[in-house]
Amino acid sequence: MPSINGSAVKKVIVACDAGMGSSVMVASNLKSRLKQYGVEVDHIPVNQLPEEPGLVVLCHQGLAPRAQQTAPHAVVVPFAIFMGDPAFAALEKAIADGEPLES
């Protein structure tokens, strides 16, 4: 199971599937929240996840198995709702406090 210390996170990818705009909204919100920690936030399709060490992928829970298959090296953080999901705050807290993140 991939894991990373939150203080080592340099990039978070918000992975999407249908391109309906909801995940773009999540990425934009996270960009603002994580900028102060020097974390880059990007938005790409789940089937195009890169092979990068220390990668954290945030995606809707329905896409999590595909994200894990596409990027088995990445820490995949699933969420259930696009606005105000507790996973967003937990991700930010782990980065801010240097806590571990696991798939």
Check 16, 58, 64, 67 and give the catalytic one. Answer: 16
Contact between 69 and 88 under an 8 Å Cβ cutoff? The reply is no
Name the one residue in this structure whose structure tokens are 């894990």.
68
Beta bridge partners of 5: 100
Say whether 16 is catalytic.
yes
Which tokens belong to 41? 């936030």
Reported as half-sphere exposure (CB side, CA atoms, 13 A), residue 41 has a value of 22
**Residues annotated catalytic, as ranges:** 16
